[in-house]
Amino acid sequence: MQHPLNTLKLAAALALVLCGAFACFLSAPLGKAQAQAPARGRRAPFLPPLPRGIAAAVWRRGVPADNPLTAEKVALGEALFFEKRLSVDGTVSCATCHDPATAFTDGNMLAVGVERKVGTRNAPTVLNAMFSRHLFWDGRARTLEEQAKQPLVNPLEMGMPDHGAVVARLEAVPEYRRQFREVFGAEGITPDTVAKAIAAYERTQLSADSPFDRFIAGDRGALSEAQQRGWKLFRTKAQCINCHTFSRAAPFFSDFAFHNTGVATKGHSFEQLAAEAATMTSAAPNRARALSRLAHTEGFSELGRFLITGRPAEMGAFKTPSLRDVELTAPYMHDASEKTLLDVVKFYNGGGEKNKHLDKAMRPLGLTDAEMSELVEFMRALTSDEVMRRAQSSRPQTRLSALR
């Protein structure tokens, strides 16, 4: 018979092992193995490891009641995010344009879809996209679920003829039939469940825990002196904070609103384009699909938010991007017209490109060369250690066809 003291020692050792394993789970970055780890029960709630700077309450507010996360749903969404069979020729997945190796962008000037078709806008990062009130540069989608559906059937992106073809492609794969039954039950594979799974995975792709976050948390040595001067300029003379807002409750360096800074006005007659766009969308049987196509049509793309709202004041207005990990996501602006962060700062220092609908906040800033350099140094302090590690360790996506 085992001595009671030995039993207590064994129990204590087991408790330490279990506690250590749980601590490792909480601190480890979310990756494929972790997303596939079993939860307690098929529909147990799932909370990804949250980086310093993003509170659990802030994250939970971004998860809709009709699409709660489970470990199984996140794993399915991850598989779909990297699944090239969701494109008409099997060469493009969501990850092709939103590659972890380039901070969930693609490094190209403009997005490149099936058959190497080139779009009209730069691919934005997926990181922290769950916190945006509007998706796409023009805000034509209100949720990640709505956003996930559009590239699948856009002829310049993944090129599937319709969402029925997407479902049929997945139905032909036994493993996907099994996973969808496990996650969504009798509903199975539908356009909505495909979008819900992809959105669930995207809600685990977060960015914070940068040198700036450690500085805000009290580590005064986390930023260099030049970066601290840049942070002060960011909030004062440079006026960046007006649009790239920051607070503990919304630490994403974006107001997620739409502004005309003049980028889209070069060589375009907005009024003529607006009239033609209104005629085309009013006659289209599917307005959402028509808008998605116009967003990728030369010229019309530059109308920006106006395409969605029809408000003249929003001609040429585009969504404020987050500055998190911005040093990793060049080139910049919706049309990739600025190649470096210093180019971006110089553009704003000059007051943007003058036009009839220019945002009222745009005006020359009078920054010196030294001050512009300090702003750039500050923005580099917004790079997440984990995002940088993942970028350095991830193999870039390829365009080899997944169809056999």
**What residue has token string 């193999």?**
395
- 249 and 132 share one domain: no
Average pLDDT, whole number, for the chain? 88
Whether residue 33 is contained in a domain is answered as: no
Residue 230 confidence (pLDDT): 98
Position 323 pLDDT exceeds 90 = yes
Residue where a domain stops, chosen among 187, 206, 225: 206
Which of these ranges, 48-57, 175-184, 287-296, 384-393, has the smallest mean pLDDT? 287-296
- 298 and 238 share one domain: no
Q: What is the CATH number of the domain that holds 346?
A: 1.10.760.10
Position 378 pLDDT exceeds 50 = yes
Position 276 confidence tier, pLDDT thresholds 50, 70, 90? confident
Whether residue 134 is contained in a domain is answered as: yes
Residue 27 confidence (pLDDT): 34
Residue 376 confidence (pLDDT): 98
- 177 and 103 share one domain: yes
Q: How far apart are CA 63 and CA 128, in angstroms?
A: 12
Residue 291 confidence (pLDDT): 79
331 preceded by a cis bond (ω within 30 of 0): yes
Residue 287 confidence (pLDDT): 78
- 255 and 154 share one domain: no
Rounded average pLDDT over 39-45: 53
- 232 and 324 share one domain: yes
Residue 267 confidence (pLDDT): 56
Burial of 125: CB neighbours in 10 Å, binned 0-12, 13-18, 19+: buried
Position 288 pLDDT exceeds 90 = no
Residue 45 confidence (pLDDT): 77
Q: How far apart are CA 98 and CA 214, in angstroms?
A: 27
Whether residue 398 is contained in a domain is answered as: no
Rounded average pLDDT over 152-170: 97
Position 1 pLDDT exceeds 80 = no
- 289 and 377 share one domain: no
Whether residue 2 is contained in a domain is answered as: no
Q: For the chain, how big is the Rg over CA atoms in Å? A: 23
- 194 and 232 share one domain: no
- 189 and 124 share one domain: yes
Number of structural domains in the chain: 3
Whether residue 38 is contained in a domain is answered as: no
Report pLDDT digits (tens) over 10-19: 344 434 333 3
Report pLDDT digits (tens) over 74-102: 999 999 999 999 999 999 999 999 999 99
Cα atoms in the 13 Å half-sphere on the side-chain side of 352 = 20
Position 6 pLDDT exceeds 90 = no
Whether residue 291 is contained in a domain is answered as: yes
Residue 128 confidence (pLDDT): 98
Position 240 pLDDT exceeds 60 = yes
Position 284 confidence tier, pLDDT thresholds 50, 70, 90? confident
Residue where a domain stops, chosen among 299, 314, 329: 314
Residue 43 confidence (pLDDT): 64
Whether residue 359 is contained in a domain is answered as: yes
- 244 and 331 share one domain: yes
- 245 and 329 share one domain: yes
Structural domain harbouring 158 = 71-206
- 140 and 284 share one domain: no
Residue where a domain stops, chosen among 314, 338, 354: 314
- 241 and 286 share one domain: no
Whether residue 22 is contained in a domain is answered as: no
Position 8 pLDDT exceeds 60 = no
